[in-house]
Amino acid sequence: MTEDTARLIAEIEAQEERLVFARFSHADAWELGCILVALGTERGLAITIDIRRGDQQLFHAALAGTAADNDQWIDRKVRTARRFGNSSFLVGLRHRATGTPFETREWNDSLLFAAHGGAFPIIIRDSGLIGTVTVSGLAQDADHRLVVEAIERFLGLSDQ
């Protein structure tokens, strides 16, 4: 594992520990989704946004320039985050750090799962993983960073 990969893994693990919700309602999903739409619109990003609690989709928006393929990527990233209990980016990085990429492991069906950045777990303090917030349309690290930025704003942990 390279130093950069180890540093990035540690950074994402710290994000997951820090970005924990006290609760998460339908109204919270709407507010968080609107933050992501505003960020995407302000920056002219072609992104699709998805927020789920369990199997229920609470928020979905597809900005200009996206396609149905983005929805398929979201489904695959969400399955990965739910299966492993971590962000889809962290799952991919951890696999690559072992020398065996996620996609080459026979039990990780690439039609169902994608260990690429963009799906972040919604974790409720003292309750665990209850959902995901996901972005698709950018490079995987940019998808991940955008979700983190939006969650930080929602939780009041950013300067903005």
Mean pLDDT, to the nearest integer, of 91-96? 92
Per-residue pLDDT at 159 exceeds 80: no
Bridge partners of 136? 48
Is the predicted pLDDT of residue 1 greater than 80, yes or no? no
Average pLDDT value for residue range 58-72: 98
pLDDT in tens, 13-54: 999 999 999 999 999 999 999 999 999 999 999 999 999 999
How is residue 127 written in tokens?
């309750």
Q: What is the DSSP letter of 52?
A: E
Give mean pLDDT, residues 143-150: 98
Asked if 86 and 15 count as a contact pair (C-beta separation under 8 A), the reply is no
Question: What is the distance between the alpha carbons of residues 6 and 153, in angstroms, rounded to a whole number?
Answer: 26
CB within 8 Å of 140: residues ≥ 6 apart: 89, 92, 116, 117, 118
Instruction: Report the pLDDT value the prediction gives residue 137, as an integer from 0 to 100.
Output: 98
pLDDT at 110: 84
pLDDT in tens, 102-131: 887 777 788 899 999 999 999 999 999 999
In the CATH hierarchy, which fold is given to the domain comprising 3-154?
A: Beta-Lactamase (3.30.450)
Q: What are phi and psi of 118, to 5 degrees?
A: 140, -25
